[in-house]
Amino acid sequence: MKNKILLTIFLFFFFNGIVWSQLLLRISHVVKNNSPKGRAVVYFKKIVEKESKGAIKIEIYPEGILFDDREALVALKKGLIQFAVPSFSKFADIVPEFQIYDIPYLFKNIQHVHRSYFGKIGSLLRNKSYEKGYVLLAMWDNGFKVFTNNKKRIKYPQDLKGLKIRTQGSKVINKSLEIVDAVPVTKPFRIVVDLLKAGLIDGQQNTYNNIYTQQFFRYQKYLTITNNGFLGYAFISSVRFWKELNLKTKKIILDALEKATIYEYKLAEKINFDDYYRIILHSNIQIIPLTDKEKKVWENFYYKHYNVFYEFVDKKIVDEVFRLE
């Protein structure tokens, strides 16, 4: 009789979706917690834990303390973590089509980028990710990148000649530097500040937020406002893990992620704006703006070289971006 009562209680809780044991989920990323991505991940964690009434616990591993972006992609497949938020450029190792965001001046503004997220391009990227064993759950912003260096004023593409510039390793980014005779140096994000400090590289390209929070500006003399490529993030899980989750858990995660994504977009815009002025206030770095005419020189230069990028990104996808305008 006692066993029958216990079985009845168990079945009641089971079929009413009450979770007995806590589900632990780990997220890895490489930036600081006060970055747009870092703060959005924390926000996501709070919502999930609140809406699940503590049945789901999320542990966050920022600043590459557990894995860098490339290591995280392997760790996802092995089940060591459940979520990662690599840059588009790093995830392009797996899904090369993400390199469209690295093509200089392909995207005109953030609205243009967002149209790509939620249109045919976003669908293509989700499908390609799934084919490789990853679930693309969201696409997040950081912003458009600018160049910093410690050697000379940069006004035109040819001024980059001879400079050793750290890159994320995207073939498109590396090629965009090679065609101006610069030297791309692929290194993990977490050691960039040490490379700059030691003078082992001359410069890097990044958003204002990363330049400020990582203190890159302390070891650079010049910042040129090129806005030449876009830095975004893929919020991903593994297909294997995602299939194991029940519908209730998936809904909690997706609802939280939708709210966190809206929050992240607003943060990225505001923080990059604020950090531009923080860089000016807290350093002697020389800001080099580009006139409309000078920016047009950059755009036209790279437009003429788009054919070299088609080796890495199908021209049809690039053409689809143009159709978004």
Closest to 35 (Cα-Cα) out of 274, 285, 282: 274
Q: Is the pLDDT of residue 301 over 70?
A: yes
Q: pLDDT tens digits, residue range 24-78?
A: 999 999 998 989 999 999 999 999 999 999 999 999 999 999 999 999 999 999 9
**What pLDDT is attached to residue 174?**
97
Token duo for residue 278:
């923080």
Residue type, 201: I
Pair 138, 253: CB distance under 8 Å = no
Q: Is the pLDDT of residue 84 over 90?
A: yes
Distance, in Å, from the CA atom of 44 to the CA atom of 102, rounded to the nearest integer, reads: 27
Pair 234, 91: CB distance under 8 Å = yes
Distance, in Å, from the CA atom of 142 to the CA atom of 126, rounded to the nearest integer, reads: 20
Question: How much is the pTM?
Answer: 0.90
Residue type, 182: A
Q: Is the pLDDT of residue 185 over 50?
A: yes
Q: pLDDT tens digits, residue range 3-22?
A: 434 433 343 344 344 444 68
Q: What is the mean pLDDT of residues 115-133?
A: 97
CATH code of the domain made up of 25-323:
3.40.190.170
3-state helix, strand, coil in the chain (%, to 5): 55, 20, 30
Distance, in Å, from the CA atom of 290 to the CA atom of 20, rounded to the nearest integer, reads: 59
**What pLDDT is attached to residue 144?**
98
Distance, in Å, from the CA atom of 110 to the CA atom of 141, rounded to the nearest integer, reads: 9
Q: pLDDT tens digits, residue range 277-296?
A: 999 999 999 999 999 999 99
User: Cα dihedral angle (239, 54, 28, 30), rounded to 10 degrees?
Assistant: 140
